[in-house]
Structure 1
Amino acid sequence: MSIWGKIIGGTAGFALGGPLGAILGAAAGHLVDKIKTIASDPRLGGSGTYYSDQTNFTGGQDPRQIAFATGVVILAAKMAKVDGHVSRDEIDAFKRVFHIPPSEVKNVGRVFDMAKASPEGFEPYAQQIAMMFRGERALLEGILEALYQIAMADGELHPAEKDYLKKVAHIFGFADMDFDRVHQAHTSSNRPDPYQQLGLTRDASDEELKAAHRKLSRENHPDALMAKGMPPEFIAQANDKMARINAAWDQISKERGIR
């Protein structure tokens, strides 16, 4: 079963807990108040139990995969509100990035609509994701990258969308330079700056560049990301990022004659 079939399961909302679980529970027909009572995170202002490990899940559901996929859907829905409309291109990009099978489009759309209609801001959802993936920068950046692909589907980034994405990045713990790197990769009409893509400046030494490339390659390898919680449906996106990292290294190593 794809991740999209799992997240609409009857127990997914209760098992995940927190704001993300409340939306899933509502989409599955549960009472939102009951979910918030038993599953809200005290660190987000609630008073119930926060489920943060796989032992609380039933039916073989992977909480990190569900959190990753649900987080992207909900944050995409909240992003759709900032410029006042959802374009056809954005909808098509949503389906393409997420690899949603026709049989699950309606259910995923229900989660999207629930999140879009919710009066709550995006912050509690982004905060829960940041806590579940604390220390996993590559996974958090993967969520940000997916949101960028959706925002850029119509060929431009609305200023309000950029502001929204920057706020999400800050909640995820990214500094401005980290956000700028992702922003440049998705919006630059020219080839992204290779040094920036490796998280360094042009005065970095060859050894520093080699180490950065090895670290990024290890952290962003699709197999490593899947093992840490990225759903298989997002692996094409992970491959694109690896291609950018390797292209940046190839350009730098050729310019410097690094072997």
Structure 2
Amino acid sequence: MSIWVRVGDFVANVASSALTSIVEAVRTAFEGDPETRRRVSFSIAMIALSAKMAKADGIVTHDEVKAFQQIFSIPESESRHVARFYNLAKQDTAGYESYAAQMAALCGSGHPNCKFLEDILDGLFHIAKADGYVHEKELAFLTRVGEIFGFDEAHFQTIAARHVDLGDADPYVVLGLSRGTSLEQARRRYHQLANENHPDRLAARGVPKEFLTIANDRIAAINGAWEQIEKELKAA
């Protein structure tokens, strides 16, 4: 069964409830099916947090809508359920902090290392930068979501560096390296990240296949950073 049929059925049944009750409903509805729970949770998180980010920024541009569509190819038959849920998320009085905390809790103990949460944050950055610039309010929103997800400043900067220009240190930040690292250390780190972020790994985490757009962007950023660092260190 298509993930969007699952999401559509789920949203049709629970979308009249408060947004903050939906995560618990996902948990119980798919308790015996962890793979479907991850896929539905990811999709719902992306829709809801995208809506919350749009509300924080105060404007939804055509480019942001297009970026959302790049991540999710939603069948016409299910689009009304997604639109209904998106509008619910924008209108719900509960703050996005509460919702983000519930999403983090789905990862259980030790959630700062949960790749599922990094996938969500990467997707939000992809949408935020679609108009060519991550606006101040969007960055504040993303920073707070990162904090709630349990990412320390260095981890958040590594994610952000894949999407925004952080200056001369940018390639090192992308790979989570400090200047002065050796070529061999940098090479090991690069291979580790390339392996961890291979698109097949995302599929294994239950990320919808449409999210391969983000996976490819992530790998491109990692490869680009490594090329710059390798060139610099070999020339040293």
Q: Common fold, TM-score beyond 0.5?
A: yes
Shift of 1:172: 1.0
Counterparts of 2:4 and 2:140, CA distance in 1: 29
2:179 is the counterpart of 1:202? yes
Give the Cα separation in 1 of the matches to 2:193 and 2:106. 21
Matched to 1:68, the amino acid is F
Length-normalised TM-score, structure 1: 0.77
After alignment, is 172-181 or 70-79 more displaced?
172-181
Kept after mapping to 1: 8 A contact 2:48/2:89:
yes
**Closer, same or farther: CA 137–201 of 1 in aligned 2, 3 Å:** farther
Shift of 1:61: 6.8
Give the CA deviation at 1:77: 0.6
Return 5+ residue gaps in structure 1 as ranges.
Answer: 14-23, 42-48
Larger mean Cα displacement after TM superposition, 104-113 or 88-97: 88-97
Distance 2:169 2:43 in 1: 27
Please give the alpha-carbon distance, in whole angstroms, between the structure 1 residues aligned to 2:64 and 2:51: 11
Are the aligned partners of 2:23 and 2:103 in contact in 1 as well (CA < 8 Å)?
Answer: no
* SS of structure 2 residue aligned to 1:140: helix
Matching of residue 224 in structure 1 with residue 201 in structure 2: yes
> 1-side partners of 2:177 and 2:35: how far apart?
38
Match of 2:91 in 1: 117
Matches of 1:88 and 1:4, distance apart in 2: 23
Summarize the Cα distance change of 1:137–1:2 in structure 2 as closer, same or farther, 3 Å threshold. Answer: same
Deviation of the 1:81 alpha carbon: 0.8
% same residue? 38
Contact in 2 for aligned 1:138/1:219 (Cα 8 Å): no
User: What residue in structure 1 maps to residue 73 of structure 2?
Assistant: 99
Structure 1 CA distance for aligned equivalents of residues 222 and 23 of structure 2: 38
* Superposition deviation, residue 116 in structure 1: 0.7
Distance 2:30 2:174 in 1: 33
- In the other structure, the counterpart of 2:160 is 183
Aligned to 2:27: 51
Q: How many angstroms does 1:135 deviate by? A: 5.2
Query: Aligned partners of 1:203, 1:61: CA distance in 2, in Å?
Result: 42
Q: Shift of the alpha carbon at 1:212?
A: 1.6
**Is it true that 1:81 corresponds to 2:55 in the alignment?**
yes
What letter matches 1:74 in structure 2? Answer: A
Mapping of 1:140-219 within 5 angstroms? 140-188=117-165, 193-219=170-196
> What secondary structure does 1:156 align onto?
coil
Aligned pair count reads: 231
Greater length-normalized contact order (CA 8 Å, ≥ 6 residues apart): 2
Q: Distance in 1 between matches of 2:151 and 2:222?
A: 18
Matches of 1:234 and 1:176, distance apart in 2? 25
* Aligned counterpart, 1:26: 14
1:241 to 213, 218, 223: 218
- TM-score norm. by structure 2 comes to 0.84
